[in-house]
């Protein structure tokens, strides 16, 4: 049986962290304490709440999943009560990637703070799609890669383009109208960034991969130094004198979504932010549109 809220906290920490040691750090106790608590909970239940997965992580059983869902609901209710009774000023924790942080989230947070006096905590991750649900209140992400258990809305779009440096093109000119990068050096994404389907556009063109990175900014900088051809969000490359836009076929467009867990999204503090953000949505429109760019090489 579940004796008190601390039991549910233990269950939730083990489920979200996947190990006793990580759960202990999350709870601010030592590993042996978490182990004893979990053993006591499972004795009271007369059945296991977790089993070990093939990678060694703790995976909730059916009973464990029920307890995890309950723990999340209770946690949300506790936070809601704190906000209603104590007028909590805890900042909204927003997680996003480096491109959206600069092009979309930071400017939006500045407007929100000016208009409402609200506090925001912006965390930038290169492993955005593998974050635990307790690491953020709001996720701003390309919608195609978002976790399936979140709710939210599309609020913007951002465009992509192919780029190379002037020096690279001087040594390796593109044949006008080409749709094949055989013989060319190309720059690819790595890590969770590679999951974004927009990068299929450059993978489909072939070429020799000379560099890969989980950072679009690093990809841009390598391309600007003559390292090869890169697919970049246009907001990172437009207007730079050291990069030339290339005509290599239709450029992708990615959606931007603001997301939160369903229960958490109903908390007054978070609900207020989400409503404000939805009202600020920039659709129809884009982040980093390509109007006014110089004529693309290879056109």
pLDDT in tens, 57-74: 999 999 999 999 998 888
Residue 264 pLDDT: 78
Domain end call among 86, 119, 136: 86
Residue 85 pLDDT: 59
Residue 285 pLDDT: 37
Is the same domain home to 79 and 99?
no
Domain that holds residue 190: 91-299
Residue 82 pLDDT: 64
Is the same domain home to 82 and 98?
no
Residue 211 CB contacts under 8 Å (≥ 6 apart), including other chains:
187, 188, 219, 222, 227, 228
CATH number at residue 149: 3.40.190.290
* Average pLDDT of every residue of the chain: 84
Residue 152 pLDDT: 86
Is the same domain home to 82 and 128?
no
Residue 268 pLDDT: 80
Domain end call among 40, 69, 86: 86
Model confidence over 15-52: pLDDT tens digits? Answer: 989 999 989 888 888 899 999 999 999 999 999 999 99
State how beta strands 58-60 and 92-96 pair: unpaired
Beta-bridge partners for 256: 142, 156
The Cβ of residue 62 has, within 10 Å, a number of other Cβ atoms equal to 8
Domain end call among 57, 86, 115: 86
Is the same domain home to 74 and 137?
no
Is the same domain home to 111 and 9?
no
The Cβ of residue 255 has, within 10 Å, a number of other Cβ atoms equal to 15
Domains held by the chain: number:
2
Which stretches of the chain score pLDDT less than 50? 87, 283-299
């Amino acid at each position: 049986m579940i004796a008190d809220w601390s039991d549910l906290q233990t269950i939730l920490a083990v489920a979200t962290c996947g190990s006793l040691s990580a759960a202990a750090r999350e709870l601010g106790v030592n590993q042996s304490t978490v182990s004893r608590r979990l053993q006591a909970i499972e004795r009271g239940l007369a059945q296991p709440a977790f089993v070990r997965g093939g990678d060694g992580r703790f995976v909730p059983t059916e009973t464990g999943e029920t307890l995890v869902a309950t723990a999340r609901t209770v946690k949300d209710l506790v936070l809601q009560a704190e906000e209603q009774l104590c007028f909590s000023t805890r900042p909204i924790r927003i997680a996003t990637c480096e491109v959206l942080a600069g092009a979309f989230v930071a400017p939006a947070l500045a407007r929100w703070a000016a208009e409402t006096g609200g506090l925001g905590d912006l965390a930038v991750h290169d492993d955005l799609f593998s974050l635990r649900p307790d690491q953020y209140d709001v996720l701003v992400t390309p919608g195609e890669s978002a976790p399936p258990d979140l709710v939210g809305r599309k609020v913007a779009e951002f465009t992509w383009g192919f780029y190379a440096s002037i020096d690279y093109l001087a040594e390796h000119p593109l044949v006008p109208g080409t749709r094949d990068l055989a013989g060319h050096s190309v720059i690819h994404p790595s890590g969770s960034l590679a999951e974004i389907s927009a990068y299929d556009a450059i993978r489909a063109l072939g070429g020799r991969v000379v560099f890969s990175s989980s950072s679009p900014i690093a990809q841009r900088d390598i391309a600007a130094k003559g390292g090869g051809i890169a697919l970049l969000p246009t907001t990172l490359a437009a207007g730079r004198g050291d990069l030339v836009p290339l005509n290599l076929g239709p450029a992708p467009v990615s959606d931007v979504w603001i997301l939160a867990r369903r229960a958490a999204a109903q908390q007054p503090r978070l609900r207020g932010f989400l409503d404000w953000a939805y009202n600020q949505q920039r659709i129809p429109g884009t982040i980093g549109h390509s109007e006014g760019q110089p004529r693309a090489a290879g056109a």
